[in-house]
Structure formats: C-alpha cells, structure tokens
Amino acid sequence: MRQIWSTLLCAVLLAAGAAAQEPLSLQALIEEALQHNPEIHRASRTWEAARTRPPQEGALPDPMLQVGLERNPVFVREINVLTEDHLHLLPDLGMEEPVEAMNMLSISVAQEIPYPGKRSLRRQVAEKNAEAEAARRDAARNTVTAQVKEAYYDLALADQGLAVVARTRRLLEDFSATALARYRVGQASQQEVLKAQVELSALRGREALLHQQGEAAGAQLDALLNRPAAAMPGQPDTLPAPRSLPPLEVLVERAREHHPGLQAQRRQVEAARLQVALMAKEYRPDLTLSAGWKTDGGLDDYFNVMIAAPLPLQRERRRSSVQGARAEQEASQDELRAAEALLVARIRDLASQANAASRLVELYRQALIPQARFALDAGLAGYRVGQVDLLMLLDNSRALLEDELMVQDQLAAHHRALAQLEEAVGASLDP
C-alpha cells in the first residue's frame, strides 16, 4: 500500500511539474490584453461617445412652443349702456370711457432654421473628430500590444538568463569541489578554494537580480492584462532568432499609410478645415419662423406668421472667429508635419537598434562564444593535469557566462525594437 501511495504522489508531482512548464503563449497574452486593458477600454469609450455627436450636430434645434393668456381692458361707448346724461360722471370715477375686461388666449410655435450648409458642416466636423478618436483607439491597441511583447521578452530574457546562470553554477560547483579536494591533498592553494566560493556567491547575486527582473516583467504583464498581482503562470518560450527587416523606405511608407496616430492627426486637419468653412458661414444669419393663433372666445380668431433674423452687425466678432479657426487649421497642419518627422526619426532609430542587436547576436554566436567555450575547455583540460591554475579557469568560465548572457540580452533588445517598430509602422513587418 505504501508503494502505491508513493507512486501516486510521484505522479501528482510530475503532473504539477509538467503543468508548471507549460509554455506561456505570447499571442494569448496579447488577446487577453486587448480584451481587458483599461487604456484600451478608455479609448473605446471615448470613440463611442464621439460617434454619437454627428447626429446631434446635424439636427435642427428644438421648436419653441409658447402659450399665453392676456387680460386686456376694452373701452366701449354704447348709448344703450350709458346715456349722455351719465357720461359726465366718468371723470369723477377716474375713467375716460366705460371699460370692460376681455380675456385673450394665444398659442404660437417657433422654429430656428440655421443658414443652409451650417448643419451639414457641423455634422462633418463631428464625423472627422469621431474618425480621429477611432484612430486613437487603434493606436492604443497597438501601443498595448507592443508593451505586452516587450514585457514578455523581458520575462523570457530573465528566464533564459537564469538557465545560463544555472549551467554556470553547476560548473563552478564542480570547480569548487575539485579545488577543495586538491587543497586537501596539497595540490591547490587556499586562495583557489576561496576564489571559487567568491565566484559562486557572485553568481547567486546574479541569480537574485535576474529573479527580480523576471518578477518586474511579470508585474508589468499583470498590469497590462488588468490581472490581480499573482505569479505569471507558465514559462515563456525561448527568444527566437533575429529576423531581417524590410528596407527603411518601405517602413516609412507603411507608417505614413497605416500609423493610427498620423491618421488621427489627418482627421484633425480635415476637421479644422471644415471648421473654417463653418465659421465663414456665421456671416449668414439664421432664420426663426413662427406661427401663432389668438382668440378671445367670442370674436373672430387671429392668426399670424413671422420670420425673424438677427442683424449681423458684429462683423468684427465673426472676423475674429474665422481668423481663429484658420490659425487652428495651420497649427494642426504643423502638428501633422512634426508628427511625421518624429515618426520617421523613430523608425530609423528603432531599425538601427534592431539591426545592431542582430549583428551582435551573430558575432557572439559565430565567434565570441565558440572562442570562450574553447578557452574554457582547454583551461579545464590544463587544470586537470596541473598546467593551469583555478583562477584562469574561473576567468574563462566568467567570460563564457558574460558572452552567453549578452546573447540573450541582445536577442531581447532586438525583439523589443521589433515590437516598438511594429507600433511605429502601425502594421506587421512581414513582407
């Protein structure tokens, strides 16, 4: 029975270990971030609010309904009511003539009608602003995608760095054990034993630093995915090999065509141009049409129809509005040109970073690491026969460690630059 329980426990532990080693999918993380990231939600809500504005701007103002009740004095002079003998008494009563009250009920409806073209321009301005917000939403999605990739590559860098350090630690533990054994038989100095232990301690410090970097990358992923703080499940894939980039001219052309930030700025330029046309139409007055009906309940009813328009006397105010709209249009055009120039410079910088990291990876893998490994193997063989001391062997192992860590660092730098470059271009870097 005890053997059965031991077998089951081993199976459970193996299953748990296998589950812990499941790869952490970058694509799954990106999809989760696109669904749950708060910044994307904010940009989406802003766009949803903006797209409700065009129908509002293109609608007529609400009509005005007016209902009134008037009580008017009416002077009458009828012989059958007052005789000439009684008229001389009116001044003593404070009246010139006999008075009676008459109630009047009035109802009127008024509708303001903007000058032709104003409503259409207002609607078009709102539509361009909504299109700009849609582009900003896309820009937020691209930014979050790039941030998820960068955090993932940082996590993979820490994971691969820990693997490199673990291999070096096992090697140093062997060196330390060998040095201690040689010291006991008088074939090695105490300095060699102490140096090996110092190198192991330094390696533990490197491990702690890599663990902290991995935790920071995991925390960044949790924030981007809007997750509660927790250990990142799964293990990131190894960093893939560097990839070649399209020519710089192709990247710049794609960015000018696809970058959401530029698209948003172009929509703002179009909205500013329409705003200038709208301000120019402010010289044209809006009309107010009204119709009314009035009755006293006994006499004939009264009807009226009126047209009212403001007198455009404040031409200086309107001229200032047009000048302000033109200045804003020019400012938006300048902002677009500045954004294009900065984007081109950023693309050139990121492409240079990606290419430089790729060249360094190739250099280390093709030349420096094989040389460092050969030097370590030769030093180990010499140490076994007493021709090389341990200090040189430790220097060789440290050089190999630094070279292997540099490869992982440059791989991560290359893929981080690619992630930022995709964000800057606004499209995939695939041909």
- Whether 79 maps to a domain, the answer reads no
- Whether 15 maps to a domain, the answer reads no
Give the number of other CB atoms < 10 A from CB of residue 316: 8
pLDDT in the model for residue 254: 93
pLDDT in the model for residue 92: 53
DSSP string, 160-215: HHHHHHHHHHHHHHHHHHHHHHHHHTTSS-HHHHHHHHHHHHHHHHHHHHHHHHHH
Crossing angle (nearest 10°) for helices 260-280 and 315-363: 170
**Residue among 175, 209, 168 nearest 194 (CA):** 175
- Whether 407 maps to a domain, the answer reads yes
C-beta separation of 238 from 160 below 8 A:
yes
Q: What is the pTM of this model?
A: 0.81
Rounded Cα distance between 359 and 426, Å, is: 25
**Residue among 107, 103, 208, 119 nearest 165 (CA):** 208
As averages over each run of 10 residues, the pLDDT of the chain (431 residues) reads 40 40 85 95 96 92 88 53 50 52 81 91 95 96 96 95 93 82 75 83 92 92 86 81 93 94 96 93 89 77 87 84 92 95 96 96 94 88 77 88 95 96 90 62
pLDDT in the model for residue 419: 96
C-beta separation of 145 from 34 below 8 A:
yes
**Residue among 414, 396, 401 nearest 360 (CA):** 414
We report the CATH number of the domain holding residue 254 as: 1.20.1600.10
Range of the domain at 283: 23-73+96-425
- Whether 431 maps to a domain, the answer reads no
C-beta separation of 207 from 164 below 8 A:
no
- Whether 86 maps to a domain, the answer reads no
Q: Collect all residues with Cβ–Cβ distance below 8 Å to 345 and sequence separation of at least 6.
A: none
C-beta separation of 32 from 223 below 8 A:
no
Radius of gyration for the alpha carbons in the chain, expressed in angstroms and rounded: 42
- 75-102 as b/e: b if 16+ CB within 10 A: eeeeeeeeeeeeeeeeeeeeeeebeeee
- Whether 415 maps to a domain, the answer reads yes
Expressed in percent and rounded to 5, the helix, strand and coil fractions of the chain are 70, 10, 20
Rounded Cα distance between 157 and 175, Å, is: 27
User: How many independent structural domains does the chain possess?
Assistant: 1
Token couple for 65: 């309904």
Altogether, the residues listed in the chain come to a count of 431
- Whether 87 maps to a domain, the answer reads no
- Whether 78 maps to a domain, the answer reads no
